[in-house]
Amino acid sequence: MANMAQAIRMALHYAEENLGVTDIFGEDVGAPLGGVFTCTQGLKTTWNSPLDERGIIGAAMGIAMGGGRPVAEIQFCDYVYNTIDLLKLAGNTCWSSNGDWNLPMVVRTPVGSGIRGSIYHSHSFDATMTHIAGWKVVMPSTPLDAYGLLISACKEQNPVMFLEPKALLRVKGEERIPGEPDDDRALSKAIDAPLGDRSQWKPAWPEGLEAFAIPIGKGKLVREGSQLTVVSYGRTLPLCARAAALLADEGISVEVIDLRSLWPYDWEMIKASVQKTGRVLFVNEDTEVTNFGEHLVRRTVEELFYSLLAPPRLLAGKFIPGIGLADTLEMASVPQQNDITDALRSLAGEQP
């Protein structure tokens, strides 16, 4: 099975060949590196930008306004914060022009903890990004979802922010991407650039790749349950799924929802699940104050109050300026497996 980095690379290859993507660019995105996480190796429309995040976003906006279809990369989301005003301009372009100007651009950026990146390479961006209207925002937790969501993003006529959980970029999937070869080693040999001299290397892309698209705004029911619901995305989603499996041995039935899209999001899936279970925990790793999960808690209380058997809960990152380098500091800063298991166990025991 492909890992997430390979899935993103194959989706971008399909998009530049079939969906009109004209420019894939950013810092170290082109040859020889092909991205710090190797997501853009071997693609034909890649080029390297200066170390200038504002220039990257501004260039993407200009290319899109000029009739192109760019996919820009901000190397780590920690450095996208100095582009907020430009992101707001990109988000309001279609609206403020009364639909006269579309902006078909995708911005990819790795997010979150999990690689011991310390204070400059471990931030999350989902809370901030969901505050900026006019963008669609997605964050996959599996390679297949990464492929399908990126295909959909590259078809959109207005901006999409594609958040890549860096802790999962090297994790292989459990579902094969349509057209992916059965042999993992063959896939790696075909599309992973070799170490050392790459000047003569060219990828051998799988011929059967398809336009497998996951609709933006559609969540995924990962595990059915009856006693409580957990809603998550990105790095914390697999932790939630493992917590649910562990708690099943204790007789606690947890329903697991992968939101996948943060805007628009699948409220109908959340609503149906909470009406069934009566309890819900929202989990992500962004800081807990003005967290996207707080919005979901508020909406749950306002619209589903009489279905609740316990107050909805949020488990998120600590409200601190950054994440420390030491393992103990990183693990104490954002939700881990035991934190999620304990929170679910506690919520399951609450009675009205």
Catalytic residue from among 121, 123, 131, 295: 121
Distance separating alpha carbons of residues 5 and 197, to the nearest angstrom = 21
Mean pLDDT of 1-10: 97
β-bridge pairing 254-258 and 46-48: unpaired
Q: Each residue of 10-45: pLDDT tens digit?
A: 999 999 999 999 999 999 999 999 999 999 999 999
User: Which residue, among 256, 25, 12, has the nearest Cα to 141 in the 3D structure?
Assistant: 256
Mark whether 13 is an active-site residue: no
- Check: pTM over 0.85? Answer yes or no: yes
Mean pLDDT of 114-127: 92
Please report the pLDDT score of residue 302 as a whole number. 98
Alpha carbon 246 to its chain centroid, in Å, reads 25
Q: What CATH number matches the domain at 220-349, 1.10.443.10, 3.10.20.10, 2.30.110.10, 3.40.50.920?
A: 3.40.50.920
β-bridge pairing 280-287 and 313-317: parallel
Question: Is 90 exceeded by the pLDDT of residue 340?
Answer: yes
Q: pLDDT category, 328, cuts 50, 70, 90?
A: very high
Q: Residue ranges per domain, the chain?
A: 4-191, 220-349
Q: Each residue of 188-226: pLDDT tens digit?
A: 999 999 998 888 899 999 999 999 999 999 999 999 999
Please report the pLDDT score of residue 197 as a whole number. 87
Answer yes or no: same fold for 4-191 and 220-349. Answer: yes
Mean pLDDT of 249-262: 98
Distance separating alpha carbons of residues 13 and 6, to the nearest angstrom = 10
Question: Is 90 exceeded by the pLDDT of residue 352?
Answer: no
Please report the pLDDT score of residue 308 as a whole number. 98
Distances (CA, A) of 7 to 1, 150, 151: 10, 9, 11
Please report the pLDDT score of residue 132 as a whole number. 98
Q: Each residue of 313-323: pLDDT tens digit?
A: 999 999 999 89
Question: Is 90 exceeded by the pLDDT of residue 68?
Answer: yes
Please report the pLDDT score of residue 196 as a whole number. 86
β-bridge pairing 23-26 and 160-165: unpaired
Question: Is 90 exceeded by the pLDDT of residue 81?
Answer: yes
What share of the chain in percent tops pLDDT 90?
A: 94
In a 13 Å sphere around the CA of 171, the CA atoms on its Cβ side amount to 20
Distances (CA, A) of 333 to 94, 101, 128, 282: 38, 42, 18, 17
- CATH of segment(s) 4-191: 3.40.50.970
